[in-house]
Structure 1
């Protein structure tokens, strides 16, 4: 595993370029979260296209601002996992049913095919897959509003 001391830039084609402390240059690297739900800003591997790790970031907050911005931008461009802030309504408590939700990315609706598409992640988080394979996150089902909790209880 490589040292966390490296330079990260974008080339003229928009690809990330990592230069190690030893001067080794890797074009087209990608950051990958080790724990995307439980600790999204900690434990980020920087890998080549074949998956080989060339750098490790313990905590994104500890990185220089320019590297932090490049890594964050790259991750946000590749990952799409909206966080559900509130379940506004469901068409039925039997599946399949349509959920209308408020997320950190705006209002949307999706079809829940079956109760098995709601998975517990850790002690308090839920991952809900819609009929198109998009995953929605509920970070903490115990701190979400009462109305949403009541709906979730019907499906869990």
Structure 2
């Protein structure tokens, strides 16, 4: 696929306005095709009725102003803290409470079952008891203590 030619602005109500081929779409939403594996590639701009109205092959190819609008909108919709370190777990059987250091600070969450840890490419996606996803980008690059804890659950 190739990036669709379009113009993107915000209206006075803060909604994204996309103009392409002489047609304007109000309230478009950016949606990543592969948010974990290639977050900067393959982004659809979807209308309020769920139709794709534009496609972005690579975010870096867009003008800075348009890129900023899309990035800010995605940041408001997506919340996936990245785990930098596993500080400890309450038990090596589930359910258990994990204490982790993330890119957004230190936190605790409950892992209900071991199946809530899923492989996504080279990464791991850990879902807590509230449905919040935590991303471990490259488990092999974690510190020794974190890898030892993680290995008990994999």
Fold similarity call, TM over 0.5: yes
Q: Which residue of 1 aligns with 2:48?
A: 49
Q: Which residue of 1 aligns with 2:148?
A: 150
Gaps of 5+ in 2: none
Q: Which residue of 2 aligns with 1:19?
A: 19
Once the 2 structures are TM-superposed, how far is the Cα of residue 66 of structure 1 from its aligned partner? 0.3
Contact 2:85 2:101 in 1 (8 A): yes
Once the 2 structures are TM-superposed, how far is the Cα of residue 2 of structure 1 from its aligned partner? 8.6
What TM-score, normalized by structure 2, do the two folds share?
0.96
Q: Which residue of 2 aligns with 1:125?
A: 123
Where in structure 2 are the equivalents of 1:69-148 lying within 5 Å? Answer: 69-122=68-121, 124-148=122-146
Equivalences, count: 154
Tell me how far apart the structure 1 counterparts of residues 48 and 134 of structure 2 sit (CA, whole Å). 27
Tell me how far apart the structure 2 counterparts of residues 56 and 31 of structure 1 sit (CA, whole Å). 9
- Provide, for residues 48-102 of structure 1, a one-character-per-residue CA deviation record: whole Å limited to 9, x for no partner: 1222111010111111000000000000000011111110111110111110101
Once the 2 structures are TM-superposed, how far is the Cα of residue 3 of structure 1 from its aligned partner? 5.4
Where in structure 2 are the equivalents of 1:54-65 lying within 5 Å? Answer: 54-65=53-64
What TM-score, normalized by structure 1, do the two folds share?
0.95
Gaps of 5+ in 1: none
